[in-house]
Amino acid sequence: MISGGGTGGHIYPALALIDALKAHDKHAEVLYVGTHRGLESRIVPERGIDFKTIKIQGFKRSLSPQNFKTVWLFLKSVVTARKYIKEFKPDVVVGTGGYVSGAVVFAASQMHIPTVIHEQNSVVGVTNKFLSHFVDKIAISFESARSQFPEKKVVMTGNPRAQQVANIQKTAALQALGLKDDVPTVLIFGGSRGAARINEATAAAIPELNQRDYQTLFVTGQVHYNKIMNGLAQTALAPNVKIEPYIKNMPAILPEIAAILGRAGATSIAEITALGIPSILVPSPYVTNDHQTKNAQSLVDAGAAELVKEADLNATSLLHAVDSLMLDETGRQKMAANAKKLGMPDAADQLLQVLETAINR
C-alpha cells in the first residue's frame, strides 16, 4: 500500500516505485491511498492503479478553529485507513509525503504492519517528521535530511523518479517543437503550473534571446500562456525561440536539453542529476521552510548548478546567467559531470530493498 498526495513531488516518486516493483514482480498488487482533491486523484487512476481516498486537511500555521476540524479529520482518516489495511492486507505500507500519508502510515504502524517513509527534500516535511517516530525505515534523497531523523532508521536511496529518467534516450522531441536538434538549447520553465516571476523575466528577455546563437524553449505553464503571448504580441519570435504552454511528457525532452533554468523542487532535482543537466535554479520562496533553496544549495555546493534568488531575477540577471552557461561549453560539461555524480539512477531499486528489509525485520 502506497500513500502520498497533494503535489507531484509526493506523487511521482510513488509512481516510480510502483513501476520498479512491477518490473521486478508483474504479479505484485498495489493499492494507492490519496485524497479526492489532490493531483493524485487524477494522475494515479490514469495509470491503471487501484485507488482509494481519505478526507483530510493540513494544519493552519496560525491559531485557527480549523485546526480542531483537522484533528477530527485525522482521527477519522486513521479509522478509514485501518479499514483499507484490513481489506487489502499489505505486506508493507509506504508514505511519500502529504497529510494523507500521515494517517495511512500511522494506522499501519499501530497495526504492526511494516512501514517505510520516503523524504524527497533536504528539509523534512511535517508529516514525515511526525511519522519518523513510528515507522521501521526512512529513505532519504539528500544527505542533509539524515540528521533530522532517528539515525538508525535512515537509508540513503535517492529519489525513485531518477530511475525513471536515467536511461531515457534522445528522440526527435525538439524537432517536433520546431527547433533544431543540433543546436544547444536552454529550457526555461517554472514547473507544471509555471512561475510568474520566471515568466515575467523571460518574456522581458525575449528580444535579446531572439539574437542568441543558442535556442530557448520557454514553457510558461497553461494558466500563464495567454497572458505571456498577449504581452509579446508586438514582438516577433526568431526561429531559435519557442514558447509552449505545457509539455505533457517533459522527461522525454530532457536528454536534448543543454541547460535548464527552473525551480528546485525534489522532482526537478532528481531529473537534473539523473541525466546530468547543468542548471540555473530559482527556488520558490513560497514553500515550507524554504526547502527549495536548501535543495538548490546542495547542487551549488557540488558545482552542479547556479542559484539565482527570485527576488534578484529580472531580464538582465536571467540573460547574464543563461549566457554565462550557454556560451561556455566547457563550463557546461564540467557542471553536467558534477550533476551526474549526484544522480542515483537505481534509486527505485534501492527503495525496494528498503521495503524488503522492513518486511523482513
CATH classification at residue 307: 3.40.50.2000
Please give the DSSP secondary-structure letter assigned to residue 59: P
Same-domain status, 86 and 74: yes
What crossing angle do the helices spanning 266-275 and 291-301 adopt, rounded to 10°?
20
Residue 47: what pLDDT? 94
Provide the annotated binding site.
Answer: 7-9, 121, 192, 247, 292
Is residue 339 within 8 Å of residue 153, measured between CB atoms? no
Same domain membership, residue 7 and residue 150: yes
Least confident residue range of 7-11, 17-21, 210-214: 7-11
Predicted confidence band of residue 340 (pLDDT cuts 50, 70, 90): very high
* The pairing of beta strand 93-95 with beta strand 50-53: unpaired
Give the pLDDT mean for 161-170: 89
Q: Work out the pLDDT band at 251, boundaries 50, 70, 90.
A: confident
Q: Answer with the residue of higher pLDDT: 59 or 331.
A: 331
> Same domain, yes or no, for 128 and 26?
yes
pLDDT at residue 177 in the model: 94
Of the candidates 114, 43, 116, 105, the one whose C-alpha atom is nearest the C-alpha of residue 74 is: 105
- Examine the domain organization and report whether 203 and 295 are in the same domain: yes
In a domain, 163, yes or no: no
Average pLDDT, the chain: 93
- At 57-93, the pLDDT tens digits run 555 455 556 655 667 778 899 999 999 999 999 999 9
pLDDT at 126: 87
Which H/E stretch holds residue 189? strand 185-189
For 275-305, what is each residue's pLDDT tens digit? 999 999 999 998 878 999 999 999 999 999 9
Residue 317 CB-density burial (10 A; 0-12 exposed, 13-18 middle, 19+ buried): middle
**Would the pLDDT of 1 be above 70?**
yes
Average pLDDT value for residue range 232-251: 93
Lookup result for grid cell 494522475: 43
* CA gap 25, 31 in Å, rounded: 15
Overall domain count for the chain: 2
Beta-carbon contacts of residue 314 (< 8 Å; ≥ 6 apart) = 201, 204
**Dihedrals φ, ψ of 255, to 5°?**
-60, -15
Cα–Cα distance for residue pair 240/206, rounded to 1 Å: 11
In a domain, 53, yes or no: yes
Annotated binding site for UDP-N-acetyl-alpha-D-glucosamine: 7-9, 121, 192, 247, 292
Q: Residue 69 is inside which H or E element, if any?
A: helix 66-88
Least confident of 189-193, 316-320, 343-347: 189-193
Q: How confident is the model at residue 10 (pLDDT cuts 50, 70, 90)?
A: very high
Q: Are residues 60 and 195 in the same domain?
A: no
pLDDT given for residue 130 in this prediction: 93
> Considering the chain, what percentage of its residues have pLDDT values greater than 90?
83
Residues 64 and 80 in one domain: yes
Give CA angle at 215 (210, 219), nearest 5°: 90
Nearest alpha-carbon partner for 123 in 304, 305, 283:
283
3-state secondary structure 266-323: HHHHHHHHHHCCCEEECCCCCCHHHHHHHHHHHHHHCCCEEECCHHHCCHHHHHHHHH
**In this structure, are 139 and 269 located in the same domain?**
no
Neighbours of 25 (CB within 10 A): 10
The answer to whether 186 touches 277, Cβ cutoff 8 Å, is no
Within a domain: residue 83?
yes
CA-CA distance, 1 to 279, in Å (whole number)?
Answer: 35
For residue 275, being part of any structural domain is answered with: yes
pLDDT of residue 39: 87
Determine the structural domain holding residue 283 and report its residue range: 168-342
Q: Which residue type, as a one-letter code, is found at position 31? A: L
Q: Are residues 190 and 221 in contact, defined by beta-carbon separation less than 8 angstroms?
A: yes
- Encode pLDDT of 101-157 as tens digits: 999 999 999 999 999 999 999 999 889 999 999 999 999 999 999 999 999 999 999
Residues 250, 110 share a domain: no
Share of the chain above pLDDT 70, in %: 96
Q: Which residue has the higher pLDDT, 293 or 164?
A: 293
310 plus 184 within the same structural domain: yes
The verdict on 195 and 69 lying in the same domain is no
